[in-house]
Amino acid sequence: MSFFMLKKFVLGSMVVVAALLGNACGDDDSSFAPRDEDSSSSICEDCDDASSSSAKSSSSVRSSSSVTPKSSSSSAKSSSSSVRSSSSAPVEDLSSSSAKSSSSSAKSSSSVSSSSAKSSSSSAESSSSEYVPFDHSQTLAGAYKVGENAYKQFTDTRNGRSYYYITITSDYSGKSVTVMAENLNIGKMVPGADDQNNDNEIERYCYNNDTTKCDEFGGLYQWAEMMQLPSRCNTESCADLIQENHQGICPEGWRLFTWDDYVIVRGYKDEYSDGIKGLRSTYGFSGTNASGFSLTGAGMRTKLGAFDGLKEVMAWFRPEEYESDAANRAHHGLFDNNDFAPAKENRDLKVNGFSVRCVMVEK
C-alpha cells in the first residue's frame, strides 16, 4: 500500500468515528431535555402528537390532582376513623349519631324535665289527694222523711269526733229512743289478724286495716272491747260484770244499743211499707232510710282475722251473752242489703268484730 492510500484510509476512518461520536452526543442532550420545555413544546393545537402529549400532560395533572383528594380523603378517613372510634358508629351514621347524641341529650333533658314534671305532678296529686274526712250527712235521711231539724250533733270529748243522732218513736208502743245515726269510731287501730287484748286502751278494727274506712263506716269491735271488759271475757263468761244501761265504749251519758232499743226503732212510723229497708241508709246499703236510723254496710271482722261484707252487711253485738255458750258467744243483730232482719235469738262468737251504736241515757 502506498503512503497516500494509507493516509486516505486513516483520514476516512477518523471522519467515520467523528460522525459516530456526534450522533451519540445528540441523543444524550435529547434525553436530558427539560420537562418544562417538553411541556411547552407540546402546546401545539394543530398536531396530533401535541394533542396526545397534552392529553398525557393532562393525565399527569389528573394523576397529580388525584393525589390531593386521596390525601384529603385519607385525612377525612383518618378523622372519621377517630370519630368512629369514639362514637362506635359507621361513617354514614355519624351525622345520625350526632343527631342521636343530640336527641339523646334532648331526651335526657326531656327526661329530667319530664321527671321534674312528674315530681311536680306527683306533688300536686299528693296535695290534691290529701284525705278529706267523710261527710256523714250523706248517709242521713232527708227532711221530707224525718222532718226538719230531726238530726242533732254530739261531740265525743275523748277524741273530738262529732256524731249525728236522732230520736225515733215506735208507732206501736209510743216509746222513744234517742240513738246515734252513725256507728261509733274510737280507739287505736289494730290489725285484723290480732285480737283486741290490750285492756289499758280502747282498740278498734278498720275494714281492710284502712283508717279511712273507720272514718266512713265506724270501727269494728270484739265483744269484750265493746263492753270495756277484760279481753278474757271473749273466751269466758263475764255475766256478773254486765250492768243495766251498760256504757261500754260509748261516751259519757250514752249506753250500748240493746234488743229493746231495736224493737222501738223497728216500730218507726212506716207510711210506705218500707219495712226493714226503712232502717238502712240510701248511701250504698239499698235502703230508703224512712226511719232516719241510717244504717250503713260497715261489714265485719271475722273470727279468722279477715274482713268481709263491706256495703253488704252490718252487725252489732248486744250487751248480753248467749246463755248456752256464755264463754264464747254473745247475742247480736245482723242486717244485710237483701232485707234480712235481726232475730232475738241471733248469736255469734265474741271474737268477731262488729259495729257499735250508742243510745242516750234517759235522765
The answer to whether residues 194 and 338 belong to one domain is: yes
**Domain presence at residue 189:** yes
Amino acid identity of 287? G
* Strands of the 298-301 sheet, one edge to the other: 307-310, 298-301, 313-321, 329-336, 347-349
pLDDT band of 159, cuts 50, 70, 90: very high
**351 and 253, same domain (yes or no):** yes
87 and 144, same domain (yes or no) = no
Domain count for the chain: 2
Same domain (yes/no): 52, 183: no
Among 71, 93, 115, identify where a domain stops: 93
Better-scored residue on pLDDT, 74 or 299:
299
pLDDT at 225 over 90: yes
Strand partners, 164: 153
Q: 65-74, 303-312, 351-360 — which is least confidently predicted?
A: 65-74
Give tens-digit pLDDT for 143-158.
999 999 999 999 999 9
Q: Is residue 203 part of a domain?
A: yes
C-alpha to C-alpha distance for 76 and 99, rounded to whole angstroms = 20
Q: Are residues 63 and 166 in the same domain?
A: no
CA distance 204 to 354: 10
* 251: pLDDT strictly greater than 80: yes
Rg (CA), the chain: 55
Q: Which of 79-88, 159-168, 180-189 has the lowest mean pLDDT?
A: 79-88
Distance of CA 228 to CAs 88, 133, 199, 292, 346, Å?
Answer: 76, 27, 8, 28, 22
Any domain includes 196: yes
In a domain, 13, yes or no: no
Q: Is residue 119 part of a domain?
A: no
pLDDT reading at 124 higher than 60:
no
* Band of pLDDT at residue 363, cut at 50, 70 and 90: confident
DSSP assignment of 78-135 equals HHHHHHHHHH---GGGHHHHHHHHHHHHHHHHHHHHHHHHHHHHHHHHHHHT------
Residues 211 and 326 in one domain: yes
Query: Which residue would you say has higher pLDDT here, 83 or 231?
Result: 231
Whether 329 maps to a domain, the answer reads yes
pLDDT at 129: 78
Q: Is pLDDT of 17 > 80?
A: no
State the Cα–Cα distance between residues 300 and 311, nearest whole angstrom: 10
Q: Tell me: pLDDT of 198 over 70.
A: yes
On the question of pLDDT at 59 being above 80, the answer is no
**Same domain for 162 and 62:** no
Q: Does some domain include residue 122?
A: no
Question: Do 89 and 211 fall within a single domain?
Answer: no
Summarize pLDDT for 275-302 with one digit per residue, the tens: 999 999 999 999 999 999 999 999 999 9
Is residue 276 a part of any domain in this protein?
yes
Residue 317 CA to residue 347 CA, distance in Å, equals 8
Q: Give me the residue label for grid cell 223497728.
A: 266
* Same domain, residue pair 77 and 195: no
Q: What is the pLDDT of residue 82?
A: 37
Q: Provide the domain limits for residue 251.
A: 137-360
